[in-house]
Amino acid sequence: MDRLTKEQRHRNMAAIHGRDTKPEMIVRKFLFARGFRYRLNHPRLPGHPDLVLRKYRTVIFVNGCFWHGHDNCKYFRLPKTNIEFWSNKIERNKERDKKEQCQLAAMGWHCITIWECQLKPKVQIQTLESLAYTLNHIFLEDRKIKTYELPDTDSTLMAAEPEVTYGRNKQQ
């Protein structure tokens, strides 16, 4: 049973916003301090990613474990009241996230998802350092010199005249 009244619970849930959350601010401050520049909630991209790094063709989603249904996470559990509503809502969120990431990948963007539980103090530094490493790796891979090999040339497939000996003909 819920300890709060219906109005109190409604007020609490309505106060939760999707932008400028604490986990998002942690990622933003880290990236900015490391010299990564980004745009917030780009309106032209599917899903309005939390962070868009155009130089790296990368978008970052900072997801809350509850709202996006993080599987096998201790911070995600369905509420005991109104179970059907919450399970449907979270399932729709998961499906929407997959669809948006597929659209972004089809457009050539790299998608990175950081979960709220990965930004808890015990693993925060490791998560952020691996994010910086991944972004640098993406940057270097995208700008790597690509060598192209020519197909093997087989002389039997040449469309040319037979070999001609120049000079005097022996028949004369």
Ordered per-residue pLDDT tens for the chain, 172 residues: 668 788 887 888 777 777 778 999 999 999 999 999 999 998 899 989 999 999 999 999 999 998 899 999 988 888 888 889 989 999 999 999 999 999 999 999 999 999 999 999 999 999 999 999 999 999 998 887 777 777 766 555 556 666 666 766 656 5
CA atoms of 172 and 168, how far apart (whole Å): 8
18-29 residue pLDDT tens: 777 899 999 999
pTM to 2 decimal places: 0.76
- Phi first, then psi: what are they for 136, rounded to 5°? -65, -40
CA atoms of 27 and 124, how far apart (whole Å): 10
Tell me the pairing of strands 39-40 and 58-63: unpaired
> Rounded to the nearest 10 degrees, what angle do helices 124-142 and 22-33 cross at?
50
Q: How far is CA 128 from CA 68, 132, 135, 159, in A?
A: 20, 6, 11, 60
* Residue that the structure tokens 């001609």 belong to: 164
